[in-house]
Structure 1
Amino acid sequence: MGNEKKFFGYKAAIGAFLIIFANLGACTTLGTFLASLSAYSEHSLGAVGQIGTVNTICNIILSVVAIKALGKLGPKKTMLISILACALHMQFYTFATPGANAQSLIFMYIAGGLASFAITFGTHAVCSALIADWFVEKRAKITGYVLSGAGIGAAAWVFLAGQLFKITDYKNCYRIMSVLVLVLGLFAVFFLIKTPEDLGQKPLGWATDAGSAGNTADVPGVSYKDALKSSTFKFLVLGLLFTSFGGTVFLSYAPSWWQMNGMSATGAANWNAIYLLLAGGLLLVAGTISEKLGTKGFVFYVCVAYVLTFICMVVWPATGGAVYMMVLTVIFGAAAYPVNASIPSFVGTAAFGPREFGQISATLMIAVYIGQATASPIMAAILQTAGGMGLGWKICAIAVAVGMVFLLAALKVSPMKDKK
């Protein structure tokens, strides 16, 4: 019992939650200030909106770097880089000046690149790897708690940004929020982010696992190199490409669709906030749901929820904007949110085991970022067709369904299947 009381893993999990809460939440606020950045700098909204393109491209590139950084630097230093980059990216937005000059655009694009360091070095993959170091037992449940920081952080920081924006300009909003990022992030990094090796402890459940021998090679699972060569990995990449595409389209275009069909901007923002809050709450119990349903059941649950979300989006205008249909859309969308946050961690662990979970999970996130990168150009092409955004929702439903098939196929041929 004495050793149990000294177990530091839960504090490390709180630290990881704070890191992802600060990084992803703060980076999500760009949408709140995009119009103000455009108006102040006198650049077109389209030009300023390319911040998102820069960010996505950098996410893909830096995902590879983050994998190596995590292995060489460890989670503490990797997360420290993410926090410093997150605070600095907000400061770069304040360097913009009026006059539609190239310098302002460069500063904003640099900010988008710095945000990528925050996202790749301090969110899903790195935080999940830290939890994998601390927990053999309860891993899915604790991972779900930690990754809920993504949804809760997005809702909280967007709300904070909106409140600050009522009393000051966008530059002061960013300055205030950058200080809050540093306070939360540095506290977590220096006081909570520690590994079992740092403290001479064993992961929770170590004694009941094959890893009790105390050697990494004895931990159950597949090596990183063997995982990359497997058909399971290829199926997972395809599944994540399709599902992350659909999930990103919903996150990016849902408020616009609601406004296109008669909802006010305030109403759309309120429904989106409700969606993010509910999604954050459901992410808290995503690990528990995964344990109850099993990984295959969890994949089926979240993917079907997204398909139902897209069906609701298509049907909603025909109902005259019925509130009950919005309620269903928000509920199904929130239930499906783990597609954007938890699937790489949960499915990656189930498919390959915990042995080199950090590297495998980080690599799988590259597929997620590529899927996200395809959302904007594909939707831009769809919007030029006669079907417009309504057709886009139908294509998203098909994409997520196809992704689900690939994810389930990956689990079916998993090298861990015969070891359980």
Structure 2
Amino acid sequence: MATSQALAGKTFDIFTAEPILLSRINASPRRWLWLCGIPVVTIVLLFEFSGLYGAVTMPHLGGQLCSDLAQFLRFDRPDCRRHASAGNQFPLLRDLLSLSAIVILLITPALVQRQWSAFENLLPGMERDGSLTVPANAAARARIHAEIDRTNLRFRRIRNLAPIMIVGSFVCVFVISLSEKRLGIYYALAPAGQAHAWGTAAYANWWASWQTSPVGAIVYLTVGTAGVYWIAVMNCAGSRVLLCLWRLRGDLHYGVDPTNADGSFGWGRARAVLVPTYTSMALHGFALIAVGISLPFPCSVVVLIPVVGQWLLALPVYTGLPLLLTRRWVRGFKRREEARLRIALRRLEADRAALLAAGRYFTECEALSGRLARVRDIRSFPFNRPRDIVLAAANLLATAGGVYSLFLVWY
């Protein structure tokens, strides 16, 4: 990777944090084949083996899904209930919540790969784009290099913790699976006063039941373990990068490219980090809501509240804090640059006679005035493309859903 002379090759070696999949895929020219192929193959196998156990679909599936959704939202829909079947069968296509959570967990490595690739290119890329200035003094550069080296060392330590995180992820998902086996599933859909009996019967007819569909149960356990592990690695490594940038906030000088060559006023590299971060936070929020609704009530209280609570605490750190800092840096640059340009225009006016004689006045005046106009047009938030707005809205919706799911657990 080419880097600027000022950074002297210093960048985040973040892919060393994950030794099993991501560091290997990142070195492969066919990495996207792996990242896209793993989810597709897993879903195909899941449908195939569920079909062998007769647990893919059911009669009146559309009406049943409509009825389930109405009950999840606590919104009575008699027209749905009229067409819904009366049993507690739970084939794969009825359990869209768990299926959605599985798909989200399977695509998490692709999101992590996108985010980490953007982190690798963040500092050198922003310097090349003119939105980051590295101080000229040797002491400041030494601090920058030392902090990046310290962060890269933390990545290697995270890598060494991979076995522990895998075991912890397995234990977490296994406890969930065990709770579902003993207590049942989807209490939210049970008739009044029959939650436990209905939930255990529903588990016996579930596509991921150890009793009737062990292959589905193994897929559920495996995907859940891998997904929790990838999310843990993503959070550990990403938090180290954010901590490094926070510590260097006084040494790295952020600016803006008034020419807007990249469509984000020089902040396209930062946007490349935020897009997969916002996407993953929104998707993981919806996955937590889906899993929490499917869990039995005692287990949902133990698992959902701390997990969703942790996610809600992490959300402003990973999404809100970067935007607030960006706004602060962009506004600071605009104030400094506007003041500098106004002073330059006053000096130009003071030397007007000499510059007119030299034939330079109008050219220099036009250049300074044009740059001042472009600086004034810079937005405080350089990220407002339609996709950015959609991702921000998805995060707000996922946050509202997380709070609402906590409300449903308590009430």
- Per residue, is there more helix in 1 or in 2? 1
Bigger Rg, which one: 2
**Relative contact order, higher structure (CA 8 A, sep 6+):** 1
